Amino acid sequence: MDTPEKATQIATPLSKFEDSPVFNYINSLSPIKPVKSIPITQTFNSLNFSSLPSIFTSPHVIAHRETRFLKRNNCSDSSKAGSSSENGNKVCTDDGVAMDASQLYDNSAQLQENFDAGVSIEEDSVEPSGDSKFVIELPRALKYDCGSPGCSSTPCSVIEANCVSEQAGTSASVVPFVEKDSENGSFEDEVHLQGASQIEQKKEEVGCDWESLISDAQDLLIFHYPNESEAFKGLIQKSMDPGARFCTSLVTQFSQNDLSGEPKRQMVDSVGCSQHHEMMEGLSAQPGETSELKEINEIEDNLVNDDLNNCLTGNPSENVGDDVGVCVQAACKRVPTLHRGMLRRCLDFERVARRKNLNDGSNCSSSIILQSNEKIASEDNQLETLMPTSDSPRCILPGIGLHLNALTLASLPSQDNKNFRLEIFSRQLSLPTSTASIHSPESGQEPVQDSLTSAAAERDMVPVDDEVPLAEDASQTSAYLVGEESNLNSPKKKRRRMELAGESESACKRCNCKKSKCLKLYCECFAAGVYCIEPCSCQDCFNKPIHEDTVLATRKQIESRNPLAFAPKVIRNSDSVPEHGLHLQDESSKTPASARHKRGCNCKKSSCLKKYCECYQGGVGCSINCRCEGCKNTFGRKDGSATIDTEAEHEEEEESETCEKSGVDPILQRTEISNNEEQNPGSALPTTPLQFSRPLVQQPFSSKFKPPRSLLSIGSSTAFYTGLNYGKPSIIRSQPKFEKRLQTAPEEEMPEILRGNSSPGSGVKTVSPNSKRVSPPNNVLGASPSRRSGRKLILQSIPSFPSLTPQY
DNA sequence: GAGTTTGAAACT
DNA sequence: CAGTTTCAAACTC
């Protein structure tokens, strides 16, 4: 490439310099004899050998990056900036879809090519255009992969990145790219404006195409995943081929496969994008390809997705930025805000968490999903921190569901964290867990199935819930939606999905902060560990990916003040160990609710009957920790009047009524349902029968629970707690059945855990209100216990865990 | 949609 | 640690 020339050029000056009188003089002063430039030249040569453009580019990229950030900030602050980023994400997602389609071909080689192509595309975009954003990320990834000692192989990182992109749903991970792209594309965007506008029109017409795309992609993935896994393996093994081009891969696929049926269609999707793009730009495309594609497109009238595909696929050969820009616009409209926002939101935090978790290893089958997530993180140059998937032996170790706080505290067991993350991701991200799982290279079927199962489980859950639009996290909803998509293509379902999405979105965290800049716990988004998104009507919001540093710093600060600040406010009984004591469950079962508010409320006028009351809002009864006056909490009164099981049941009934309004109850109902499902794993999940056992188990913790809005700390940190550990805040009740069965084993473990982790004091009731904050240690501990609870479920499914948990 | 109420969070 | 202030959600009209 260019490197050799550059090297020579560089070398030349050096040699001249050596010959210069000044140099000689300096040499004379120094006792050390200068070595001639040859070695230096060699160095460059060596670099040349590596010849990874990424290496050279990366520095530039990095340099640009700073600039990019500045730009971002400028743009991002405006609400639109976020949209652009989102769009970008979508674009990436679309690409991912295209990739998936290509994967369907079952040709691992093709898949590899695709991956390579995807990588190359980014590189290409970098070199020619010099567009900072898009380029930046990949180069870095490459760089890290190649250079970082920890990284076993570049391919992995690359693969991860690809996977991320592939996960159409996971757009969140892609976000960084998107933003970059959007920025880069400014120039190009203008050029393509017309095309974009056209696309937008198409989008409007198409309506749900995006979803259909996703669903289609999922379906394909599901069916073909085995191949994919193989392909992934191959990819992993295979070293990156920077030179490979996406177009090439597409062409190859096309030529290789005279595709029939779906494969063709997929091809069309993937290829069509580039084609379409070219056509729009008036660029010359490969003739044969174009014609064929057109035909295909015609055949498939419904593939309005072309727009998306185009955007998604992006024309590698051409400026990515253009495609991105166009796609972004198009994608924006298509993609439900939920997905976008959620994805982005969560991802960033995740990423942060990852950063903090340097130790995360990831090879376990379960980790597969994590890898995908990590890939996402890597996009933002997180690769540095990321450990090679293969490295970590820890997979076995029981992870602690961490919330960001926990992450900071210590290196966490990779697996659990990953799992949690995955779950979180699945929730948060519109992308179904299945997507993520698909990408896992090593996981082979298992991971996929797991993810699928989880998704399926969610689906199952959802259907039940369907009728009851619960206040769910948008993330959950999104995940659910995704899951649905995979299986359900019927228009009704889609509509429902859409509706749900809308509802979920409404349920999704939104803030209206005006003075806090969304950097205080006043802000629900911030408190939940989630970035603010479009739906938020906040002012001067700093809780955006752009201000990641600020957000993190603020979080740290707040955490330093109150380690539990970002912990879920409501803790399940089992999870709540720190406060109530794990053993208490039996005893605690007598308490009004299985869950309790972390700190307790301080209500004086609301009688704990309104959402002003955090306990009530969380769907939990008041406890000793509460300092409320005139408590009438329907979920359980402070005095314990409601504590009895029978009462609890009544309350549940009442709650169901109440909750319908509040939106909390539905969750509970769901949980119950989920429990039933868990009991009968096979019943619900059609997709992956075998793996149900695991997913089912896990799901309860992760995905199934749809904590009440306030409770649901969607954010990574909180999300971890909420969803995984403490998770189920509102769910708490649902647990009764679930817990009772599951806990039999778990609870046994719990005591040990408590002993090991929690201070003796925590054992029973950390009643004192003050203790609320005292818990920091507990929190940490609590996190682990909560994990266990989560683990518990997992453990049942997985034999190995039990042994591990006791250790704690 | 504006205004009020409420209680958590933040501050002193 | 207690008291006060600030803040934004929840609620009411």
Q: What is the mean pLDDT of residues A298-320?
A: 39
Band of residue A628 on the pLDDT scale cut at 50, 70, 90: confident
CA A485 – CA A375 distance, rounded (Å): 24
CA A475 – CA A428 distance, rounded (Å): 4
Can you give the distance from the CA of residue A37 to the C1' of nucleotide C11 in angstroms? 77
The type of residue at A219 is D
Tell me: the pLDDT tens digits for A106-145? Answer: 343 443 444 444 433 333 333 333 333 333 333 333 333 3
Q: What ranges do the domains of chain A cover?
A: 3-50, 81-335, 350-586+664-808
Nucleotide nearest to A611 (CA to C1'): C10
pLDDT of residue A595: 67
| Main-chain phi, psi angles of A571, to 5 degrees | -120, 135
**Does A551 score more than 60 pLDDT?**
yes
CA A381 – CA A408 distance, rounded (Å): 19
Can you give the distance from the CA of residue A606 to the C1' of nucleotide C12 in angstroms? 14
Q: Strand B: which nucleotides have any atom within 7 A of a protein Cβ?
A: 5-10
Nucleotide nearest to A603 (CA to C1'): B7
CA A615 – CA A613 distance, rounded (Å): 5
Can you give the distance from the CA of residue A612 to the C1' of nucleotide C3 in angstroms? 21
Could you check: is the Cβ of residue A617 within 7 Å of any atom of nucleic acid strand C?
A: yes
Can you give the distance from the CA of residue A435 to the C1' of nucleotide B6 in angstroms? 43
pLDDT of residue A695: 31
Tell me: the pLDDT tens digits for A434-490? Answer: 333 333 333 333 333 333 333 333 333 333 333 333 333 333 333 333 333 333 344
- 3-state per-residue secondary structure call for A724-745: HHCCCCHHHHHHHHHHHHHHHH
Asked which of A239-243, A398-402, A546-550, A744-748 is least confident by mean pLDDT, the reply is A398-402
Could you check: is the Cβ of residue A602 within 7 Å of any atom of nucleic acid strand C?
A: no
**Does A614 score more than 80 pLDDT?**
yes
pLDDT of residue A19: 59
**Does A639 score more than 50 pLDDT?**
yes
Tell me: the pLDDT tens digits for A195-224? Answer: 334 434 444 434 434 444 444 444 433 333
pLDDT of residue A537: 86
Greater confidence (A548 vs A322) lies with: A548
CA A480 – CA A486 distance, rounded (Å): 10
Band of residue A390 on the pLDDT scale cut at 50, 70, 90: very low
Could you check: is the Cβ of residue A515 within 7 Å of any atom of nucleic acid strand C?
A: yes
Band of residue A261 on the pLDDT scale cut at 50, 70, 90: very low
For residue A41, the number of C-alpha atoms closer than 13 Å in the C-beta half-sphere is: 13
Could you check: is the Cβ of residue A135 within 7 Å of any atom of nucleic acid strand C?
A: no
Could you check: is the Cβ of residue A658 within 7 Å of any atom of nucleic acid strand C?
A: no
pLDDT of residue A793: 34
Can you give the distance from the CA of residue A520 to the C1' of nucleotide B11 in angstroms? 13
Could you check: is the Cβ of residue A608 within 7 Å of any atom of nucleic acid strand C?
A: no
Nucleotide nearest to A562 (CA to C1'): B9
Q: Strand C: which nucleotides have any atom within 7 A of a protein Cβ?
A: 1, 6-11
Band of residue A508 on the pLDDT scale cut at 50, 70, 90: low
Top mean pLDDT of A60-74, A347-361, A475-489, A705-719 is at A347-361
Residues whose beta carbon sits under 7 Å from strand B: A 520-522, 527, 558, 561-562, 565, 569, 599, 601-606, 610, 612-614
Residues A452, A457, A463, A469: is their CA dihedral positive or negative?
Answer: negative
Nucleotide nearest to A513 (CA to C1'): C8
Greater confidence (A678 vs A566) lies with: A566
Band of residue A606 on the pLDDT scale cut at 50, 70, 90: confident
Chain A residues 177 to 236 with C-beta below 7 Å from nucleic strand C: none
CA A235 – CA A229 distance, rounded (Å): 9
Can you give the distance from the CA of residue A604 to the C1' of nucleotide B10 in angstroms? 20
The type of residue at A483 is G
Can you give the distance from the CA of residue A102 to the C1' of nucleotide B9 in angstroms? 51
Band of residue A510 on the pLDDT scale cut at 50, 70, 90: confident
**Does A566 score more than 50 pLDDT?**
yes
Could you check: is the Cβ of residue A523 within 7 Å of any atom of nucleic acid strand C?
A: yes
CA A720 – CA A417 distance, rounded (Å): 9
Could you check: is the Cβ of residue A16 within 7 Å of any atom of nucleic acid strand C?
A: no
**Does A567 score more than 70 pLDDT?**
yes
Determine if residue A712 is left, alpha or beta; phi over 0 gives left, psi from -120 to 50 gives alpha, anything else beta: beta
**Does A250 score more than 60 pLDDT?**
no
Could you check: is the Cβ of residue A514 within 7 Å of any atom of nucleic acid strand C?
A: yes
Q: What is the mean pLDDT of residues A264-276?
A: 38
Residues A680, A682, A688, A690: is their CA dihedral positive or negative?
Answer: positive
The two three-digit tokens of residue A424, written as one number: 């979180």
Q: What is the mean pLDDT of residues A259-287?
A: 39
Contact A636, A621 (CB under 8 A): yes
Q: What is the DSSP letter of A403?
A: -
Relative to beta strand A570-571, strand A596-597 is antiparallel
CA A169 – CA A628 distance, rounded (Å): 43
CA A118 – CA A96 distance, rounded (Å): 9
Nucleotide nearest to A710 (CA to C1'): C9
Contact A711, A465 (CB under 8 A): no
Can you give the distance from the CA of residue A22 to the C1' of nucleotide C1 in angstroms? 71
Can you give the distance from the CA of residue A726 to the C1' of nucleotide B12 in angstroms? 34
